[in-house]
Amino acid sequence: MKRFLLMPNEKKDHGLAVTGRVIGTLLSIPASVIYLPAEYEMLTDGERIICCEEGTLPADAEAVITIGGDGTVLEASRPALRLGIPLLGINLGRLGYLSELEADRLEDLVRLADGAYCERTLMTLCVTLRRDGRDWEMPRLAVNDVIFYRSPTGHMIDLTLTDEAGGTLRYRADGLILATPTGSTAYSLSAGGPVLSGSFDCICATPVCPHSFFNRSILFDGDSVLHMRSGEGSEERILVTLDGRENIVLEPDDEIIVHRSSRRLRLLSPEPRDFLGVLRKKMKLTE
């Protein structure tokens, strides 16, 4: 790999100090081209560093490198999925569950040129809004989760979940999370959901503060197609987010369809991922 799209998070990388070190390391490979968003033009001192205008993506980029936290990785997942290229996250956040490289190990970036990195793929969710007889596929794929929740001033919401076999579940709760295995360590975990290995595909439905004695998560097969509607007679406004970014306000007769996407997010790491080791280190689940 010799052509990289860098996506720094200036709120995490104060003064872009780590980003500058990343650029220096990549140029020593030597990388043929490094792309940066236009707002970081001050770092383009060299003919192998090129700025990308907003809304454009370099079609010849071979990998995306983020400098920040997991939120930066989620934001960068959109161009990575669109271009079909792998993503490497350099962790400057608190948790860094998706970021595979710590900032004190930047020398490992040199291995990118030799293809000495490991790669794993993550399941993503495709979300379609069905309104007035028309289907609108959301432009963003969800890497972590699709969340249905009430408005800040609202009461509990009523939701109906139907699978492809016609089976129906009804929820009355503050919200409902449909999470991928990757997203099982995010909001779903905070809501009491299980931690899932990313080695298999499934959709985990976890209610948020349900008004029911049954408050357990339900795992659906990765091939499942889930249809979500507001409950009959419900008047509460329901909001939907994809990875906390794409917001939809449901109208009374709307339907949201969620299923596994054919596109998977490719993540790079310096060594094979130790699932239990990552949980122990990042999530502190056994302490």
The residues annotated with a catalytic role in the active site are 70
CA distance 154 to 47: 54
3-state secondary structure of 159: strand
Burial 104-126 (b: 16+ CB within 10 A, else e): eebebbeebeeeebeebebbbbb
Helix or strand or coil: residue 8?
Answer: strand
Could you please report the per-residue DSSP string of 111-141? GGGGT--EEEEE--EEEEEEETTEEEE-SSP
What DSSP letter does each residue of 249-262 carry, written as one string? EPPTT-EEEEEE-S
| Separation CA 245–CA 195 (nearest Å) | 23
Identify the bridge partners of residue 63 per DSSP, sorted by sequence position: 4
Q: What span, in angstroms and rounded, lies between the C-alpha atoms of 200 and 204?
A: 12
Q: Which helix (H) or strand (E) holds 238?
A: strand 238-242
How distant is the alpha carbon of residue 240 from its chain centre?
A: 15
d(CA 140, CA 81): 9
